[in-house]
Amino acid sequence: MPKRVDHEERRAQIAEALIRVAGRQGLHAVGMRDVAAEAGVSLRLVQYYFETKEKLLFYGLQHLTDRFTARVGARLAAAGPDPGPRATVEALLLASLPTDDESRTFHLLYSSYAILSVTDEALAAQPFIDNPDAAENAMAGLLERAQGAGLADPEADARTEAISLLAMAAAMGTSILVGQRSPEAAIAVLHHHLDRIFTAPGTSERGAGAN
C-alpha cells in the first residue's frame, strides 16, 4: 500500500523550511524555490500546498506564532501551577525578546511581515493576525487582575500600561537585533517598569521570566 501522506505534517515541514531560510536571508529575499530546496521537496509540491508566496508566508507566520505560544507556556509551566499575573506578564514579554536563535527568528520575521505588508498588496490581503488586539486585551486583563488582588498600583490605567509594555518589548527586541543593547539591558528596562506597576508589598519578587 502507498504511504499515506499527512498533509498537516507536510505543511509544517515546509513552514519550518521557510522559517529557517527567512531567518538566514530575510523574509523579503525568500522565494518558493528556496523553501522547496530547504525542505527537500519539489517546487511543485510547495505550490500545491500554498499556491502563492503570500499564502506560504502567512502560514509560516501562523506556525511561528504557535511556536511562540509554546515558549510562553514552557515559561509558565516552569513557574509552577499558579504563576500569578506578574509572572504571566513577564513570560509574555520576555518570550518575545530575541535572546536566542528561535526568539530572534520570531522577532525578525514577525516584524518583517508587518513591514512588508504595508507596501505589498498581495501580502496585505492575507490576514496578519486574526485578532490584532488579542495580546493587548490579555495583558490589560492580567494587570486588572493584579489590581483586583492588591498586587499592582490601583491608580494605574491597565489598558495604557498594557499598550506601553507591549510597545516597549517590541522596541527593545529591535534594539537587541541591531546591537544597540544587550538582552540583559533590555530585560532590566522591562523589569524596571514592571516594578513600577507591581508596587504592592511582596510583589517585587520576579516570576517565571526573570531567569
64 in a structural domain: yes
pLDDT of residue 124: 78
Encode 168-183: b = buried (16+ Cβ within 10 Å), e = exposed: ebbebbebbeeeeeeb
Residue 158 reports pLDDT greater than 80: yes
53 Cβ neighbours under 8 A, 6+ residues apart: 30, 31, 32
2 in a structural domain: no
For 1-34, write each residue's pLDDT tens digit: 445 668 889 999 999 999 999 988 888 889 999 9
150 in a structural domain: yes
pLDDT of residue 211: 44
Q: How many domains does the chain fold into?
A: 1
The phi-psi region of residue 156 (left if phi > 0; otherwise alpha if psi is between -120 and 50; otherwise beta) is: beta
Nearest to 95 by CA among 77, 69, 114: 69
CATH code where residue 102 lies: 1.10.357.10
Nearest to 67 by CA among 23, 27, 120: 23
33 in a structural domain: yes
Nearest to 152 by CA among 185, 120, 198, 115: 198
1 in a structural domain: no
For 104-147, write each residue's pLDDT tens digit: 888 888 888 888 888 888 777 777 666 768 889 999 999 999 99
Q: What is the DSSP string of 70-100?
A: HHHHHHHHHT-S--HHHHHHHHHHHHTS--S
Nearest to 108 by CA among 36, 19, 169: 19
Lowest mean pLDDT among 41-55, 68-82, 156-170: 68-82
62 in a structural domain: yes
Count CB atoms within 10 A of the CB of residue 2: 4
**Domain interval for residue 31:** 7-210
* Contact by Cβ (8 Å): 154, 88: no
